[in-house]
């Protein structure tokens, strides 16, 4: 049952629902498969977990097609079917124990999945630096991130924060990350991968924008990997099943 709903910008919405079992199992970076009630849309919409508070799960999503369009019409009290959490996520203990300067990047609809990561790192006693990239002055989730991290904003039109992208803002800040974690458009992830390689530090990237069925069935999300899949012996991985979080150097993007 949807417990809360709001519209964050012209095409971005958020809904909350309660599930004790999902809330207990969820890791940042994982996603939920949401089935809309229209039976002509059999496949679920994979939506990343934005935040977990008690037994309440928060999902933020952009309307990109008929499925998310229908989801955006649902109101508090409406019922949805969900499965999850799905996919791999970020290993917060590993990150906390191995890296000094933790830097997160979120671009556009890649911003929401980084919130739970910032929250869990903060709960572990860390204060990550977070770079958020927006198109224009319609910011969303910035205040939520400020509870857990030091936030830097970049906008494409320069209306707020640094004019440019999240890497422009990183270079302006002078920060020296020990690890980078990112979710956002493919162009941004390519640039993060390149930046990490130049700095000789690891980058973990979430390819969640590029999923389709979300259940390992359509192969619409396959990406090329440097390692061979043990089962099929090919250099492929399904983003929805083996991902969405990958070590950047292990995927070709
Ligand atoms: Fe269909 Fe991954 S989204 S197999």
- What pLDDT is stored for residue 227 in this prediction? 78
d(CA 117, CA 203) in angstroms, rounded, equals 14
Give the CA dihedral 84, 129, 92, 239, nearest 10 degrees: 40
Q: Is the CB of 221 under 6 A from ligand 1?
A: yes
Per-residue pLDDT of 94-133, as tens digits, reads 999 999 999 999 999 999 999 999 999 999 999 999 999 9
Please provide the DSSP assignment of 168-235 as one string: HHHHHHT---SEEEEES-HHHHHHHHHHHHHHT--EEEE-GGG-SSSSSSS-TTEEEESSPPTTT-SS
Give the distance (Å) from ligand 1 centre to CA of residue 241.
Answer: 7
Count other Cβ atoms within 10 Å, centred on residue 84. Answer: 22
Q: Is the peptide bond before 41 cis (omega within 30 degrees of 0)?
A: no
pTM of the model: 0.94
User: What are the C-alpha distances in Å from 79 to residues 2, 26, 54, 71, 202?
Assistant: 6, 21, 20, 11, 41
CB 13 within 8 A of CB 63: yes
Count other Cβ atoms within 10 Å, centred on residue 219. Answer: 11
- What pLDDT is stored for residue 200 in this prediction? 98
- Identify the bridge partners of residue 57 per DSSP, sorted by sequence position: 17, 52
Give the distance (Å) from ligand 1 centre to CA of residue 211.
Answer: 6
Three-state secondary structure call for residue 110:
helix
- Dihedrals φ, ψ of 86, to 5°? -120, 155
Max intra-chain CA distance, the chain: 52
CA of 239, closest atom in ligand 1:
2
Q: Is the CB of 207 under 6 A from ligand 1?
A: no
Three-state secondary structure call for residue 120:
helix
Q: Is the CB of 185 under 6 A from ligand 1?
A: no
d(CA 118, CA 162) in angstroms, rounded, equals 21
28: pLDDT confidence band, cut at 50, 70 and 90?
Answer: very high
Per-residue pLDDT of 183-242, as tens digits, reads 999 999 999 999 999 999 999 999 986 677 888 888 888 989 987 766 667 788 889 888
CA of 216, closest atom in ligand 1:
4
Residues 6+ apart with CB under 8 A from 116: 26, 28, 29, 49, 50, 51, 52
Give the distance (Å) from ligand 1 centre to CA of residue 214.
Answer: 5
Q: Is the CB of 240 under 6 A from ligand 1?
A: yes
Q: Is the CB of 67 under 6 A from ligand 1?
A: no
CA of 222, closest atom in ligand 1:
2
DSSP, res 109:
G
d(CA 170, CA 181) in angstroms, rounded, equals 13
């Amino acid at each position: 049952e949807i417990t809360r709903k709001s519209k964050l910008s012209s095409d971005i919405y958020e809904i909350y629902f309660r599930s004790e079992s999902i809330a207990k199992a969820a890791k940042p970076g994982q996603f939920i498969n949401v089935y809309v009630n229209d039976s002509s849309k059999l496949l679920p919409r994979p939506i990343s977990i934005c935040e977990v508070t008690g037994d309440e799960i928060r999902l933020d999503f952009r309307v990109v097609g008929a499925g998310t369009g229908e989801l955006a019409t649902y109101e508090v009290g409406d019922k949805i079917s969900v499965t999850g959490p799905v996919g791999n996520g970020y290993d917060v203990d590993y990150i906390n124990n191995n890296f000094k300067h933790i830097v997160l990047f979120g671009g556009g609809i890649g911003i929401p999945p980084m919130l739970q990561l910032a929250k869990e790192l903060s709960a572990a006693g860390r204060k990550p630096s977070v770079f958020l990239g927006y198109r224009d002055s319609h910011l969303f989730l910035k205040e939520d991130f400020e509870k857990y991290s030091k936030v830097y904003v970049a906008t494409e039109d320069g209306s707020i924060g640094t004019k440019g992208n999240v890497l422009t803002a990183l270079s302006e800040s002078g920060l020296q990350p020990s690890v980078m974690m990112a979710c956002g458009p493919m162009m941004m992830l390519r640039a993060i991968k390149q930046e990490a390689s130049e700095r000789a530090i690891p980058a973990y990237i979430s390819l969640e924008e590029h999923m389709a069925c979300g259940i390992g069935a359509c192969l619409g999300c396959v990406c090329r990997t440097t390692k061979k899949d043990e089962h099929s012996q090919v250099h492929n991985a399904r983003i929805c099943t083996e991902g969405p979080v990958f070590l950047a150097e292990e995927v070709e993007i």
